[in-house]
Structure 1
Amino acid sequence: MRKLMNVKTALLFGLVVAGLSMFGAANKVEARPNFKNIWADTYPDSKMLISKKCGICHPGKSKKEKSDYAEAVFEALGKKRKATDKDMIVKALKAAEMKPSSVEGKTYGDLIKADEMPPSKKSE
């Protein structure tokens, strides 16, 4: 009887640990979903988000790869790169608009208004 009790306890403990680890992992699926939503709110007339989604800032297959535009936004955020505050992110997006892109004579804001993907100097 005692052996059966130990098996049940071990099984229950294992299920609890597995459930908690799955619950904890669910919070880490999307690191910063606010950036995409706030970008859509800041530029509601842009059709770029529909076609490119996260590709505006992450042109490659990996989310670790960032475009020059994303680097300009992160530079504007400063040390608060993991920001979740909407006002702070909007300020960074607006600051990045003013920065010159790799297209001569155009800022990132000009390209966004024209629904053109901001090119990356890295890809040239």
Structure 2
Amino acid sequence: MKKVCLTLVFGAFVLALGLSSASALPPFDKEWKAKYLPDSAPASLKDAAGTAKCNVCHEGTSKKMRNAYGKAVGKYLTKADFEAVKADPEKSKKYIVEGLEKAEAEKSASGKSFGELIKAGKGPWEG
């Protein structure tokens, strides 16, 4: 009986680890990484993004909770608008990239734009 219980607990733990890395809208995450984390990107940004994962845009315990950068991105990228263009890969990529570029111009708490932070090798969520 102990082995069965232990196996079930271990299985639930492994399942929970797999679920925690899922992002709300994978195409947004994919295009963000393609735009800001190419091979030539600063190692500091790559490391910070790898550590932050979903917290690039989100914070807290709910995917609806966003940090300052996530709120800026959310002004220009919505799930509803994405649903309208997702059938066409070219349009969906254009929609996402344009939204990310618009969010770059928004100011962080430090007074620098999110684009300036990214170009400096800092995560935009670091503010």
Greater RCO (Cα-Cα under 8 Å, separation 6 or more): 2
Q: CA offsets per residue over residues 36-91 of structure 1, 9 Å max, x none? A: 11100011224132121111101223212111211111212366265641110110
Aligned residues of 2:104 and 2:113 also touching (Cα < 8 A): yes
Say whether residues 1:114 and 2:120 are aligned partners: yes
Q: In structure 2, what is the equivalent of residue 65 of structure 1?
A: 65
RMSD of aligned residue pairs (Cα, Å): 2.6
Unaligned runs of 5+ in 1: 1-28
TM-score by length of 2: 0.60
- The answer for unaligned runs of 5 or more in structure 2 is 1-21, 87-91
Q: Secondary structure at the match of 1:90?
A: helix
Q: Report how far residue 118 of structure 1 moved.
A: 3.0
Decide which of 2, 6, 28 is 1:35's aligned counterpart. Answer: 28
Q: Which amino acid aligns with 2:81?
A: K
TM-score by length of 1: 0.62
Q: CA deviation at 1:34?
A: 0.9
Higher helix share: 2
- Checking the alignment, whether the CA contact within 8 Å between 1:102 and 1:119 is kept in structure 2 is no
Answer yes or no: is the 8 Å Cα contact 1:102–1:120 preserved in 2.
no
Q: How does 1:14-93 map to 2 (within 5 A)?
A: 31-44=24-37, 45=41, 46-47=45-46, 48-77=48-77, 80=81, 84=86, 85-93=92-100
Structure 2 vs 1, CA of residues 34 and 65 (structure 1 numbering), >3 Å: closer, same or farther?
Answer: same
Seq. identity, %: 35
Q: Distance in 2 between matches of 1:103 and 1:72?
A: 14
1:110 aligned partner, one-letter code: E
Computing the radius of gyration from Cα coordinates, the structure with the larger value is: 1
**Count of matched residue pairs:** 92
